[in-house]
Amino acid sequence: MYQKIKGTEDLYGEEMKYWYWIEKKAKDLAIRYGYGEIRTPIFEETKLFIRSVGQDTDIVQKEMYTFEDKGGRSITLRPEGTAPVVRAFVEDGMIAQGFPQKYFYIGPMFRYERPQSGRQRQFHQFGAEIFGSSSPIADAELIIFADRLMKEIGLVDYQIHINSLGDIEDRAKYREALKEYYAQHLENLCDDCKVRYEKNVLRLLDCKVDIEYTKNAPKITDYLGENSRKHYEELKALLDSVGIKYIENPRLVRGLDYYNRTVFEIHHQKLGAMSAIAGGGRYDGLIKEIGGKDVPALGFATGIERLILALKAENVLVDEIETNVVYIAYLGGFDVKAEAIRLSEELRREGIPVGLELMERGLSAQLKNAARVGAKFTIIVGESELERNIVLVKNMETGEQLEFERSFVVSGIKDMITEMQ
């Protein structure tokens, strides 16, 4: 027997109601906030991710699905969505369309991480990117959008963490301060942190092991230059003006290298170790870095699997997917069967989800199946009903059975469904 690859999932059945719920709300909301959809390939040139996400990040060092294709090219399954969207923006000359430009995406991402609840090797993100604005009002709108998304899907128990990483010069000064601070503790740090100290000292703040040292480390916000500080202050004031609650977290550095100034994460209180349900920020240098013009940009992404865990943890009721509101059962020869299929099409044309008996079972087995698939009504067509130009309609909840004239079935069923709602 073949088995799915570790860290991947087959999605079907009851579980899909959560996917429909989130995807529909996220798409509708993105459109309400002025985003257009973008779909990029799930694989890209490996270099794109090394250049954008950063050579020394965990993603590039340990987590990418990289392979050589038959033409000898190094290809990587996308570990995130921002770099591909930026690549498309630069490659297709989208800059010519004026600013700002706003794109959203939904799709699978791939990271070779140790699978556990809320962490998979193939997972799905909904993401949003804004190109062109350097104003804090764009940062504010983005965070408000992320917050609204959480609210609209029904989440309550989450917190928004924000921070500013400053500009390149601010970060250079901060790096020095961190190096100085951690140099005193170097011997006691975990092995990963010893490497991080050499390669990318900011990453030390992310460490889950050396938390004691992180507590007393210098804070980036004390190293922000005038412009970054103003940007951060205005962002916070704008969030305050619409009543968005946030926590300032000076240790928040994010796991990807392309960020500057604003970074944020949303954490769900009931998810334990994998509590980050969304993350993002500003990445003003990235478009230029991968060959485009100097265009400021920002965005965020949320992990759909984690949102589903959060919805379940909060017992949020989501819409059911109703596939068999009406079941059509029949017993008889070809004419009866033809009548059954005609009837099913008439109802489906009216937008009613219909299950048609496909197994040609006996009537009681058909009724049992109608109950199994959750039908509200079962229509029964037989030889004598066909002759009398009627059908029987059984209310599956009450067991009541009515005769309907053939020409009134569709409107009658529609009325009964409306009454039930």
| Site residues for ligand HAM per CB under 6 A | 80-82, 111, 113, 118-120, 123, 125, 127, 129, 255-256, 276-281, 299-303, 305-306
**Using DSSP, how many helices (H) and how many strands (E) does the chain show?**
15, 16
Beta carbon of residue 327, minimum distance to ligand HAM (angstroms, whole number): 38
* Residue placing its CB nearer to ligand HAM in the complex, 151 or 348: 151
Beta carbon of residue 123, minimum distance to ligand HAM (angstroms, whole number): 3
Beta carbon of residue 297, minimum distance to ligand HAM (angstroms, whole number): 8
Residues 221-256: b if buried by 16+ CB within 10 A, e if exposed? bebbeeebeebbeebbebbeeeebebeebbebbbbb
Which amino acid is located at 175 in the chain?
R
Q: Which residues pair with 302 in a beta bridge?
A: 126, 278
Beta carbon of residue 397, minimum distance to ligand HAM (angstroms, whole number): 40
* Residue placing its CB nearer to ligand HAM in the complex, 128 or 340: 128
Smallest CA-to-CA distance from 62 within 7, 124, 110 is with 110
* Three-state secondary-structure class, residue 108: strand
* Residue placing its CB nearer to ligand HAM in the complex, 266 or 393: 266
* Residue placing its CB nearer to ligand HAM in the complex, 129 or 147: 129
Beta carbon of residue 277, minimum distance to ligand HAM (angstroms, whole number): 5
* Residue placing its CB nearer to ligand HAM in the complex, 278 or 379: 278
* Residue placing its CB nearer to ligand HAM in the complex, 202 or 410: 202
* Residue placing its CB nearer to ligand HAM in the complex, 23 or 346: 23
Beta carbon of residue 259, minimum distance to ligand HAM (angstroms, whole number): 7
Residue 318: exposure state from Cβ atoms within 10 A (0-12, 13-18, ≥19): middle
* Three-state secondary-structure class, residue 299: strand
Q: Which residues pair with 392 in a beta bridge?
A: 380, 403
Contacts 24+ apart (CB under 8 A), 208-216: 210/185, 213/182, 213/185, 213/188, 213/189, 214/251, 216/181
Stated length of the chain? 421
Beta carbon of residue 256, minimum distance to ligand HAM (angstroms, whole number): 6
